[in-house]
Amino acid sequence: MTEQDGYCIICFEKCDDVLVIDHCHITGKVRGLLCQQCNAGLGNFKDDPKRLEKAISYLKGEQNQ
């Protein structure tokens, strides 16, 4: 994780605060270091890729089904 050099693995913003160690809640495997905002975002979407995909479609103005 040191190769991230203080940057969030999702937004690539330099983090002045402490980065959060993100992990899979099922396997416990560490995925990377995240800023507080990206970590909270994943949590709010319950780490569900389908929810995130629907949110991306929504932001793009595409019809969600």
Q: What is the dotted CATH code of the domain comprising 2-59?
A: 3.40.1800.10
Q: Who contacts 35 (Cβ-Cβ below 8 Å, separation ≥6)?
A: 8, 10, 11, 13, 15, 17, 19, 20
Tell me which residue has tokens 């991230």. Answer: 4
Record the pTM: 0.81
Between CA 16 and CA 25 the distance in angstroms is 26
4-57: pLDDT as tens digits? 889 999 999 998 878 999 999 889 999 999 999 999 999 999 999 999 999 999
Domain map of the chain by residue range?
2-59
Q: Who contacts 15 (Cβ-Cβ below 8 Å, separation ≥6)?
A: 6, 7, 8, 35
Between CA 12 and CA 34 the distance in angstroms is 9
